[in-house]
Amino acid sequence: MSESIKVTVPDIGDFDKVPVIEVLVGVGDTVEKEQSLVTLESDKATMEVPSPVAGVIESLEVKLNDEVGEGDLLAVVKATADETEGEAPPEERAQAPAVEEATDSGQEAAPAPAPADDSGEHDFDVVVLGSGPGGYTAAFRAADLGLKTALVERYPSLGGVCLNVGCIPSKALLHTAQIIDEAAAMAEHGVQFGDPKIDLERLRGFKDSVVDRLTGGLGGMAKQRKIEVIQGVGSLTGPHAMNIESSGEGEGGQRSISFSKLIVAVGSQSVELPGIPWEDPRVMDSTGALDLEDIPQRLLVIGGGIIGLEMACVYSALGSDVTVVELLPQLMTGADPDLVRPLQKRISGRYKAIYTGTKVTSVKVADDGLVAYFEGDKAPESETYDRVLVAVGRSPNGNKFGADKAGIEVTERGFIEVDGQMRTNVPHIFAIGDVVGQPMLAHKATHEGKIAAEVCAGEKSAFDARVIPSVAYTDPEVAWVGVTETEAKEAGADYGVGKFPWAASGRALGIGRPEGFTKLIFDKATNRIIGAGIVGPHAGDLIAECALAIEMGAEAADIGLTIHPHPTLSESVALSAEVFEGTVTDLYIPKR
């Protein structure tokens, strides 16, 4: 016997009312179970409201642009069948065993998961420890798959280091630096704006507003998915148990929870060099640098990697005299030297000094600043600075959550080894993100988080991405993916290169940035792309096409024959493929 089912607005988080931006069905329409009926939108997310049953739309109670709140009636569906008859409940589906062989990618098959325990009774199907990009993605995916999920986070807002004190706030400040530099550069073209006036309080407010908008959206989506967010520091007390010490304001005490499966997403922390007076507030790590307490006249950046160089760009644009010191011979180790060269040339004319192959032996506190002592051929014996930023890498937090209580194996460096399904040596415990190894990148963690959640739910899933792109959001940006030319040479590979200089790009010339280039690396035996590197504005956006080409096994002709819009920076990817094939007409390359 069919019945009429009312469809109402679900939990919409902290919003009283949200607009209806799409009405996807009409009265009399036949709909399937889970078919979307209307789309709602807040300033943080869009949400489609599905039909809970298969049936016919009996009435529609809203129209386009209506404002609706939680519990408001949207539609009435006359059900045609009992959709749940004969279907296992979500908690039973969640316990389905993972397949022994997830893919045909050649990865070692993961062991079958162990049963939850003898009783099978736990507070949660899945607990995710840590709410960075990998952690919240894992929790959201697990909840979407019907698992009762808890997300444990020590800080008041979700998002982890990346959203709160890392990737996102740094990009907001780098955008500010870019605008300052571009405005100054326009003076050469006859447009002068004058010197910028920096209001640090408002700049911090802009940065914080970006963070608040993203983290607030995450909180709302967690609530919509009925994920229990527990604020506190989680430590394992056994293979299926965790103690959480509350870290919320006005809260105290501890809570113990149990779980069938656990996803560890505890991330990493900044490395603290010895010989540095960390107790002095003028010494900063990357988190402290993002606080923008002031704009130091003299800033020393220890570490010429991605994080150090990004923050150097910010403080230089804001008015600091920046010195960068890197222990290794090259800035941004890991990228090909030719990719780094345009960046180093640009910042060498802007920074006070760049010392490569140089060690900071110690930093001493003095009345007039912080005195740094150096060892290096071109560096002075010592120099005084108003602030020192230490950005020499990050260390995993594998030894900081009681892993030994559950029997999880952790390396001496703090990493947790996992298989292709993100499973640790303890079959019902998974690990993702920085704690499982390099590269320590948010976009790697999010993919790993989805895989771990899907395996927890009994789905056939494994990590088999061919490549993971890297991006430095410096000015110019530097991005690379797949095999670098340095790696190809060291391996003795039979490879070819297609390289297109942006000095021949109309778009690059039009924005006054001809110093960049795009480089594609091909396997000569198959003509397939195996790597790429780009330096120039928006290189981080452009590298995604190259990553997709590698993932799809594209040949040079596939890329070159794909019509790219003109004039754009993206067409340099196709033109680089043409350079390799010898068909390019935008350059004259004499035949050998």
Indicate if the alpha-carbon torsion angle 472, 453, 267, 112 is positive or negative. Answer: negative
Cis before 476? omega within 30: yes
Which of 122, 443, 447, 566 is catalytic? The answer is 566
Q: What are the tokens at 88? A: 């296992």
What is the residue-wise DSSP string for 98-147?
PPS---SSSPPPPPPPPPS-SS---SEEEEEE--SHHHHHHHHHHHHTT-
Q: What are the tokens at 411? A: 């390396």
Tell me which amino acid residue 50 is. Answer: P
Answer whether 539's CB lies under 8 Å from 478's CB.
yes
Cis before 89? omega within 30: no
Burial of 201 (0-12, 13-18, 19+ CB in 10 A): exposed
DSSP 8-state secondary structure symbol assigned to residue 56: E
CA geometry: angle at 60 spanning 58 and 62, to 5°? Answer: 170
- Collect all residues with Cβ–Cβ distance below 8 Å to 160 and sequence separation of at least 6: 130, 131, 132, 133, 135, 136, 153, 166, 265, 267
List phi, psi (to 5°) of 78. Answer: -85, 110
d(CA 312, CA 209): 22
Helix axes 337-348, 306-318, angle to 10 degrees: 20
Question: In sequence order, which ranges of 361-505 are alpha helices (DSSP H)?
Answer: 442-456, 485-490
Question: In sequence order, which ranges of 43-95 are alpha helices (DSSP H)?
Answer: 90-94
Examine the residue annotation and report whether 428 is marked as an active-site residue of this protein. Answer: no
Q: 172: helix, coil or strand?
A: helix
- Collect all residues with Cβ–Cβ distance below 8 Å to 495 and sequence separation of at least 6: 483, 485, 488, 521, 522, 523, 524, 530
Which residue, 409, 418, 426, 460, is CA-closest to 117?
Answer: 426
Answer whether 153's CB lies under 8 Å from 231's CB.
yes
Q: If you search the block for the tokens 């996807």, which residue do you land on?
A: 24
d(CA 378, CA 376): 6
Annotated catalytic sites, by residue? 566
